[in-house]
Chain A
Amino acid sequence: MIALEINGHSHRIDADPATPLLYVLRGELGLNGAKFGCGLGQCGACTVLVDADPIFSCITPISALQGRRIRTVEALGTIDDPGPMQRAFIEEQAAQCGYCIAGMMMRAQGLLERRPDPSEAEIRRHLAPGLCRCGTHLRILRAVGRAAQMMKAAGRSR
């Protein structure tokens, strides 16, 4: 049994310790926000936050995550009550197919929690490991900038 803390809830997982977190999120816990893209840590669709940092959940075994604070896109808000990051992505209409967007939001969330007022160059550098094949990069950049402003105005990051 491996104990994981995900979005503030404790879970006991009965799985091979080498199982990547993504499979547990989607297969066991019904947290389908993080997506399976490449399975190789190359596309970023599976990105979640561990403690304060984005990680690729498709290549992070659960054995490495006991006692760590895991957050998925579901922690940023709900459909009825989206958090600032999600509202910013909606307002900028930053999703086209949407497959990369949960990962983009989590990666951006990690950045804004550490640097509430990043430059566009910093946002670009930080988001670089996330791939979008639809070409909505400019909207994504605008959405992250908007999220930063919304969080600053509200004084909170979610």
Chain B
Amino acid sequence: MIEPAAAPPPSSFDAGLVGRGAELAAIGNCASCHTSSDGPPYAGGFPVHTPFGTVYGTNLTPDVETGIGHWSLDAFTRAMREGLDREGRHLYPAFPYPHFTRVRDEDIEALYAFLMTRAPVAARPPANTVIVPRPLLGVWKALYFVPGRFHDDPNRDARWNRGAYLAEGLAHCGACHTPRNQLGAELVQRGYAGARVSDWQAPALDATSTSPVPWTEDALARYLDQGIVRDHALAAGPMAGVVRNLAHAAPDDVRDVARYISSLDDRPEVERDRRASRALASLPRARARGSDDPAWQRGEQLYNGACAACHDRGRAVDGGALPLPLAIAITLPQPSNLIHIVRAGILPQEHEQRRWMPAFGPALTDSEVVDLAVYLRSMTGRPAWSNLAEAVRNVHDPQETAP
């Protein structure tokens, strides 16, 4: 238990520190889980669905009753480093303290300054529905939680190390992109191998990446900054929110994260280049070259009537969209991202440009979504999805984009 502390007056924080904290909060994607769909920023209430129940993002504004207004810097630091709330209760690791434990003092201090200078909002999130009682989390932590700091790799340059520090720590990329064991702990030895998050697939970022055009540092930096880059699908699902936040991060930090993350795919450059040229060689439809399968044939008709008008044109043309052989959603081990995107489309937030795909949920029945997915998957040369019909039945809440 850390005693309640009077909230420091906003004027007591250095403006530069607050600004730095704002940039770091953007790197940390804090707003995504700590803001409900219609609520004010950082006032909590967003549902994070886990296999063990739903955890609601807490109110991070300095409201004394419902937020962190009574939290001292020590209490805030301890939450980040040890996963304990001010009263000393274990926090659910949906709050990614296994990553945040690596964040340095000066960055925690900046985050604290940023949060404590937000307008206090009185808002209590709904009660969690997790089936694991909090005290049991002590056992989980003993098994899986490794507190500690980030250490530079002396064989890498300063920018790579900066990127690694941010990605492994505050940005907590692995929280989505690394597979977890049955108790929800990240499998360190399979770091960034891709994972299921809610109903979405976080793609692999390591050498098992299925990105049709392998990522380069420059492409990834632009994608993280803009949410769209040449020859790649735009950020969708939970990643769309990440990119919206990264727009407020320091550009150098985003570039450094891209440097580190792009290095995770350690296939030889010549191999990655070969893959890229092959993917770009036969657009717009690549290997979709005919099949006796009636589902494939129906899928081709649907593609011709519903998709081709945009996706056969390519982005260079006004109103055109990415040729789908370049879309990672059709290459992933599971079809869920494709199903979400077909059904819900890609909708812009207000004032957002260059993001728009109509929702086909009302137009297409389940069996038509299956047919379309069969056809699109055939563009990849990969084995057919084995559980497609079941996935189409189950992935039915397209608005759900919980991280």
Contacts and interface: CB of A to CB of B under 8 A. Distances in A.
B301 interface: yes
21 contacts: A16-B301, A17-B301, A17-B305, A41-B357, A42-B319, A42-B356, A50-B363, A53-B361, A59-B305, A59-B358, A61-B301, A61-B302, A61-B304, A62-B305, A63-B298, A63-B301, A63-B302, A64-B306, A64-B364, A64-B365, A64-B368
A61 B305 contact: yes
Interface in A34-53: 38-42, 50-51, 53
A129 B362 contact: no
Interface in B286-316: 298, 300-302, 304-307, 309-310
Contacts of B365: 64
Contacts of A60: 305-306, 363
A145 to B, nearest CB: 21
A93 B364 CA distance: 35
A99 interface: no
A39 B309 contact: yes
Contacts of A39: 309
Contacts, number: 62
Interface in B332-386: 356-358, 361-365, 368
A50 B304 contact: no
Given A40-B319, A42-B319, A50 B362 contact: yes
A118 to B, nearest CB: 16
A62 B301 CA distance: 9
Contacts of B306: 59-61, 64
Interface of A: 16-20, 38-42, 50-51, 53-56, 58-65, 129
B interface: dominant SS:
helix
Given A63-B298, A64-B364, A64-B365, A42 B358 contact: yes
A53 B345 CA distance: 15
The list of the 10 closest CB pairs from A to B, nearest first, reads: A61-B305, A53-B362, A18-B304, A41-B358, A18-B305, A18-B301, A55-B363, A17-B301, A40-B319, A60-B363
Given A17-B305, A18-B301, A18-B304, 4 more contacts: A17-B301, A42-B319, A59-B306, A65-B363
Given A38-B319, A40-B309, A42-B319, A64 B363 contact: yes
A63 B309 contact: no
A55 B365 CA distance: 13
A101 to B, nearest CB: 20
A34 to B, nearest CB: 14
Contacts of B310: 40-41, 59
B358 A56 contact: yes
Nearest to A40: B319
Contacts of B304: 18, 61
Interface string B14-34: 000000000000000000000
Nearest to B348: A128
A17 B363 CA distance: 15
Contacts of A53: 361-363
Contacts of A40: 309-310, 319
Among A18, A50, A61, A65, max chain B CB count under 10 A is at A61
A20 B362 CA distance: 15
A64 B362 contact: no
